[in-house]
Amino acid sequence: MARKVLVLGEVRDGSLRNVSFEAVAAGKAVSEGGEVVGVLIGESVNTLAQELIQFGADRVVTVENEKVASYTSDGFSQSLLAVLEAEKAEGLILGHTALGKDLAPKLAAKLQAGLVSDATAIEVAGGNVVFTRPIYSGKAFEKKIFTDSFIFATVRPNNIGVLEKDESRTGNVSSISVDVKDLRTVIKEVVRKATEGVDLSEAKVVVAGGRGVKSEDGFEPLKELASVLGGAVGASRGACDAEYCDYSLQIGQTGKVVTPDLYIACGISGAIQHLAGMSNSKVIVAINKDPEANIFKVADYGIVGDLFEVVPMLTEEFKKLKVNA
C-alpha cells in the first residue's frame, strides 16, 4: 500500500549526515511507491534540500527558525509534528543517532504510535513492511511489523544502503513556519571530545584498543592507523576502566554498537560483552599477543603479535597502498 513517508535529514556541522541518505532509502522502501518527503529543521538548512532530493527524496519541507539552531527535543518535536500535520504523512524515518534516539520516542508517545528503533533492514513481505532489528545487543535479531497504520522507525547507521545519487534529480522545496516555544531544556555549552570528526557509530573503519594498549599514550599508534584509514578510534571497557581513554569510546553491550566495514581490535581479549558491540562488523581483524584470545574466534584475519610492533607497520603499509592507489 503506497503511503507518504517523511524522512528527517540530520545536519551536523553544516552538512547532512550519511545516515540521513540511508534513512531516505529506508523511507523509499516503507513508502511502497508513495511519496518520500525530506524534512530539514534548523536555522538555515535550505541549501541542503537539493542533496536530499539527489539521494531519492521526492521533495523537501524545511522549518527554519533560530530557536531550532541547535537540537532540543521540544524544538524539534514541535517542528516535526507541524510538518507531519501539514503533510498528513503515514510514515516517519529518522537515523538511530543521538538525535534520533532522543527525539523519536517523544514523537511516538505524542502520536500514540508504535516505533521500531535501530532497524538494520526493511522489506515488504506478506502485505507488511517488515523491519529487522538487533536484540540482546546483536546477539540475536527480531523481525517486527506494525499493528497500526502509522509506520515509524529509526535506522542504524551503516546498514541500509543509500540510493544512487542522481545529480539531475529535481524536486520542490517548500518551507513552513512553526511557532517554536516553551523550550524546557537549554543547551549552555557543547564540549567537543570526539576525535577528529569521524563519528564512531557511522565510521566505515574502527580501530579499537583494549587493556593491551597499556596507557593513554598507547592509543597514539591506533589513532594514526585510524587517521590513515579515515576511521574512528574505539575501545574496550577494559581500556576505559583503566582510564586510557574516555567512556564515550567504549564499544560493547554497555557501550556503542558498531557495524563498520572493517574493525581492527588491538589488545582486546574478546569478552562476550565486547563482542556484542562489534561482531556484526563486515570484516574483523584481531591483533593480540595471546594466540588463545577469544577475539580470534570472531576475527576474519588475525595476527598473533605485539600490537606496538604490528600497528605502526600496518599504518606504513596502508600509507603505501594509498599512495599507489
Write out the residues near ligand FAD by the rule CB under 6 A. Answer: 210-212, 236-239, 250-255, 267-269, 271, 273-274, 277, 287-290, 293, 306-308
Task: Please say whether the beta carbons of 95 and 7 come within 8 A.
Answer: no
Nearer to ligand FAD, 229 or 266 (CB): 266
Q: Which residue has the cell 549526515?
A: 17
Task: Please say whether the beta carbons of 13 and 42 come within 8 A.
Answer: no
Q: Is 141 in the site for other proteins (CB under 8 A)?
A: yes
> In this structure, what are the phi and psi dihedrals at residue 228, rounded to the nearest 5 degrees?
-65, -35
Q: What DSSP element (H or E) covers 29?
A: helix 18-31
Point out which span in 50-58, 59-67, 210-218, 278-286 binds other proteins (CB under 8 A). Answer: 278-286
Task: Please say whether the beta carbons of 214 and 227 come within 8 A.
Answer: no
Instruction: List, in order, residues 6 or more apart from 64 with CB less than 8 Å away.
Output: 42, 43, 44, 45, 46, 175
Q: Is 57 in the site for other proteins (CB under 8 A)?
A: no
Task: Please say whether the beta carbons of 246 and 219 come within 8 A.
Answer: no
Q: Is 268 in the site for other proteins (CB under 8 A)?
A: no
What is the rounded CA–CA span in Å between residue 231 and residue 14? 20
What DSSP string runs through 208-245?
EE-GGG-SSGGGHHHHHHHHHTT-EEEE-HHHHHTTSS
In the complex, least distance from residue 104 CB atom to other proteins, rounded to whole angstroms: 8
Q: Is 133 in the site for other proteins (CB under 8 A)?
A: yes
The interface partner of residue 145, options being ligand FAD, other proteins, none and the CB cut-off 5 to 8 Å by kind, is: other proteins
Q: Is 195 in the site for other proteins (CB under 8 A)?
A: yes
Q: Is 252 annotated as a binding residue?
A: yes
Q: Is 41 annotated as a binding residue?
A: no
Strands 36-42 and 59-64: parallel
Q: Is 91 annotated as a binding residue?
A: no
In the complex, least distance from residue 58 CB atom to other proteins, rounded to whole angstroms: 26
Q: Is 192 in the site for other proteins (CB under 8 A)?
A: yes
Number of chain residues interacting with other proteins (CB under 8 A): 92
For residues 5 to 44, the per-residue mask of contacts with other proteins, x marking binding by CB under 8 A and - elsewhere, is ----------------------------------------
- From the list 66, 87, 67, the residue with the least C-alpha distance to 75 is 67
Nearer to other proteins, 83 or 116 (CB): 116
Q: Is 182 left (phi over 0), alpha (psi -120 to 50) or beta?
A: left
Task: Please say whether the beta carbons of 97 and 201 come within 8 A.
Answer: yes
Nearer to other proteins, 26 or 116 (CB): 116
- From the list 110, 32, 125, 41, the residue with the least C-alpha distance to 76 is 41
The interface partner of residue 268, options being other proteins, ligand FAD, none and the CB cut-off 5 to 8 Å by kind, is: ligand FAD
Q: Is 251 annotated as a binding residue?
A: yes
In the complex, least distance from residue 52 CB atom to ligand FAD, rounded to whole angstroms: 29
Q: Is 302 in the site for other proteins (CB under 8 A)?
A: yes
Q: Is 187 in the site for other proteins (CB under 8 A)?
A: yes
Q: Is 112 annotated as a binding residue?
A: no
In the complex, least distance from residue 203 CB atom to ligand FAD, rounded to whole angstroms: 17
Q: Is 273 in the site for other proteins (CB under 8 A)?
A: yes
Q: Which residue has the cell 523550550?
A: 183
Annotated binding-site residues read 211, 236-237, 250-254, 267-274, 288
Annotated binding site for FAD: 211, 236-237, 250-254, 267-274, 288
